[in-house]
Structures are given as C-alpha cells and as structure tokens.
C-alpha cells in the first residue's frame, strides 16, 4: 500500500465531466456508495437512452447553480444511515481528487441538510486512498482536472 495516498476526512474535489471545478466532500469509509446533492432532478430520453438533468450549487459566499446533463447509469435501492431505503438514480462520472482522476458511480439525492454536498464512499476510495480522520483538507485547493487544464 506504499502507493496509496492518505487524505483527510474532508477534502476538495472536482467533477470535470459535470462542469464542477471545486466541491467540498466528506470522505466516508462507512458508506459504500458516493452521493451528490442535486436540485431539480429530472429524467428524459435521448436517442433511446435515459439521461438526467439536475443542478448542483457550487461556491461559498457567491453560490452558482451549475446545470448538468449526463447519461443515467441505473436506479438502485440505497439504505441511508437511518436505515431508510430509497430508490436513487446513479451516474458514472470522473472525480479529480489529490491529483488523480478516476471514474466513480454516484447516486443523486437531496443532501441539503448535510454539511457537505458530496459524500465519497469506500467503493470510490478503495485501493486509491486511505482516510486519516485526524486530517482535514490535506491536499492543495488547486485541482487539476486533466487534459482540460481547468483548475
């Protein structure tokens, strides 16, 4: 595990395929799947496939809603920390975290009452990162998203 990066319990990441350059996320080894807070989620058909349109609010004091469209991966039942089971849409998109870019399955849900708009679960972390709960925002605020040069 020498090539595994150690991160804090909360970090900044990017979702470049969705046009989201910076987002605060909780890294949660207790959660299997990853979740993203979205508003105005709707499904629609395009060329015989199911697509999703939703908005994600980014920014601190100067918040901006980013409208996203992406292919739906599927719908799955997710059990939350309170034991409630809900059917959620999943997408597959790239995450940029700690200088690495990788694909992650993310469920779209209402996290407005949570502290972080995104939760990165253990399926996304496994084999890539170790989480040290004593650390917080351990990586640079600058996020390079790969060939697009967005930072």
Residue 146 is encoded by which pair of tokens?
């790969």
10-126 placed in CATH 3.40.50.300 = no
* Domain parsing of the chain, residue ranges: 10-126
Greater pLDDT, 142 or 11: 11
pLDDT of residue 2: 60
User: Are 34 and 128 within 8 A, CB to CB?
Assistant: no
pLDDT digits (tens, 9 = 90+) for 77-90: 998 878 899 999 99
Q: How confident is the model at residue 48 (pLDDT cuts 50, 70, 90)?
A: very high
Distance CA(90)–CA(38), nearest Å, equals: 12
What are the CA-CA distances from residue 83 to residues 27, 53, 80, 115 (Å)?
Answer: 20, 28, 5, 19
pLDDT of residue 38: 95
pLDDT of residue 103: 97
- Judge whether residue 15 has pLDDT over 70: yes
Q: What percent of the chain has pLDDT over 90?
A: 72
**Across 92-110, average pLDDT:** 95
**Across 127-134, average pLDDT:** 94
Q: What is the pTM of this model?
A: 0.87
**Across 13-21, average pLDDT:** 96
Which stretches of 6-133 are DSSP H helices?
122-125
């Amino acid at each position: 595990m020498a090539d595994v990066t150690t991160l804090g319990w909360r970090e900044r990441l990017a979702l470049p395929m969705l046009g989201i350059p910076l987002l605060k996320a909780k890294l949660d080894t207790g959660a299997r799947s990853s979740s993203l807070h979205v508003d105005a989620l709707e499904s629609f058909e395009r060329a015989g496939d199911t697509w999703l349109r939703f908005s994600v609010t980014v920014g601190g004091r100067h918040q901006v809603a980013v409208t996203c469209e992406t292919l739906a991966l599927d719908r799955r039942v997710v059990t939350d920390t309170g034991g409630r089971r809900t059917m959620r849409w999943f997408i597959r998109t790239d995450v940029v975290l700690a200088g690495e870019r990788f694909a992650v399955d993310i469920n779209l849900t209402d996290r407005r009452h949570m502290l972080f708009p995104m939760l990165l679960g253990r399926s996304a972390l496994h084999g890539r990162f170790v989480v040290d709960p004593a650390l917080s925002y351990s990586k640079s605020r600058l996020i390079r998203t790969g060939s697009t040069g967005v930072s």
